[in-house]
């Protein structure tokens, strides 16, 4: 990994490329195989989703249920880690990935923490409350990852809890055009270093505003090379994509 910290990377002047849930166009999303695929394609980092299992472990999966991406059924929050680990998280994508398992965040940090920058998107759930903040903060400290990751969320209230538990960590606010204005109000009292807008929200005016506010700008989800090149020229700090190799190739023209 060429950058020691996420701050160094985002300040480098280069447009970073993060694999969205790994390289999900080529491998089953949010698995170690997908993250390794992103690494092999030359990505600077990976973006992933975490939720709490029934017994309080952070597992890497996007949906609130396991139905779409495993051979099981049920809500993630109602299954123990042992039950989740029994599920096949790869065969739905391709027979080549049969037997791939749902990883924990510990698994990902162990395998890729010294190789890739990591954007952890923490999912909002009223059932978690303070507990999710604490579990994530402890996991990050245990692996010494506080300077090599961004924690992002669509939920400003959850981000507030994360700021208390992780006072120096980089936080990124995820958002999209259809969010009501009231959703942004808690951000006025919350120190966060990055904005993560949907890519179609970003133009020169947006970048001028973000720079004036001193925000890093990391956009999602960009799979078109021409748009990636345009965003790079506008000065975005990072692009999150399903296809790291294709976007890296496009950015080499910049």
Q: Please write the tens of the pLDDT for every residue from 168-215.
A: 999 999 999 999 988 899 998 999 999 999 999 999 999 999 999 999
Dist. CA 125–CA 86, nearest whole Å: 24
Q: How confident is the model at residue 253 (pLDDT cuts 50, 70, 90)?
A: confident
Q: Is the pLDDT reported for residue 128 higher than 70? A: no
Q: Quote the radius of gyration of the chain (alpha carbons, Å).
A: 17
Q: How confident is the model at residue 32 (pLDDT cuts 50, 70, 90)?
A: very high
Average pLDDT over residues 14-19: 98
- The class of domain 6-251 in CATH terms is alpha beta
Query: Which residue matches tokens 């179609």?
Result: 200
Q: How confident is the model at residue 118 (pLDDT cuts 50, 70, 90)?
A: very high
Q: Is the pLDDT reported for residue 119 higher than 70? A: yes
Q: How confident is the model at residue 146 (pLDDT cuts 50, 70, 90)?
A: very high
Q: Do the beta carbons of residue 177 and residue 203 sit within 8 Å?
A: no
Burial of 194-217, coded b for 16+ CB within 10 Å and e otherwise, reads bbbbebeebeeebbeebeeeebbb
Lowest mean pLDDT among 25-39, 50-64, 130-144: 130-144
Catalytic residue annotation: 20, 62
- The full set of domain ranges for the chain reads 6-251
Please give the mean pLDDT across all residues of the chain: 95
Q: Do the beta carbons of residue 150 and residue 162 sit within 8 Å?
A: no
Percentage of the chain exceeding pLDDT 90 = 88
Q: Which carries the bigger pLDDT value, residue 181 or residue 18?
A: 18
If you write DSSP's letter for every residue of 183-228 in order, what string do you get? Answer: GGGGGGG---SEEEEBGGG-SHHHHHHHHHTT-EEEEB----HHHH
pLDDT tens sequence across 63-107: 999 999 999 999 999 999 999 999 999 999 999 999 999 999 999
Dist. CA 155–CA 183, nearest whole Å: 8
Q: Is the pLDDT reported for residue 127 higher than 80? A: no
pLDDT at 168: 92
Dist. CA 33–CA 180, nearest whole Å: 37
Sign of CA dihedral 231, 232, 236, 240: positive
Q: Is the pLDDT reported for residue 133 higher than 90? A: no
pTM score above 0.85: yes
pLDDT at 175: 95
């Amino acid at each position: 990994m060429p950058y020691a910290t996420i701050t160094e990377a985002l300040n480098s002047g280069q447009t970073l490329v993060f694999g969205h849930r790994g390289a999900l166009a080529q491998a089953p999303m949010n698995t170690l195989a997908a993250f390794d695929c992103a690494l092999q394609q030359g990505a600077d980092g990976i973006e992933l989703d975490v939720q709490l299992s029934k017994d309080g472990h952070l597992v890497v999966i996007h949906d609130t249920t396991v139905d779409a991406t495993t051979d099981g059924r049920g809500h993630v929050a109602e299954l123990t880690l042992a039950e989740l680990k029994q599920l096949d998280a790869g065969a739905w994508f391709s027979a080549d990935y049969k037997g791939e398992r749902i990883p924990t965040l510990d698994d990902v940090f162990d395998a890729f923490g010294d190789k890739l920058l990591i954007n952890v998107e923490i999912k909002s759930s009223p059932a978690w409350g303070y507990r999710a903040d604490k579990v994530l903060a402890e996991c990050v400290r245990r692996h010494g990852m506080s300077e090599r990751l961004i924690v992002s969320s669509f939920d400003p209230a959850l981000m507030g809890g994360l700021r208390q538990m992780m006072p120096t960590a980089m936080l990124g606010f995820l958002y999209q055009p259809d969010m009501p204005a009231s959703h942004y109000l808690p951000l006025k009292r919350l120190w966060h270093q990055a904005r993560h807008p949907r890519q179609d929200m970003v133009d020169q005016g947006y970048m001028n505003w973000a720079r004036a506010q001193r925000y890093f700008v990391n956009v999602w989800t960009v799979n078109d090379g021409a748009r990636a090149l345009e965003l790079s020229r506008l000065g975005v700090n990072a692009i999150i994509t399903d296809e790291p190799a294709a976007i890296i190739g496009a950015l080499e023209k910049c």
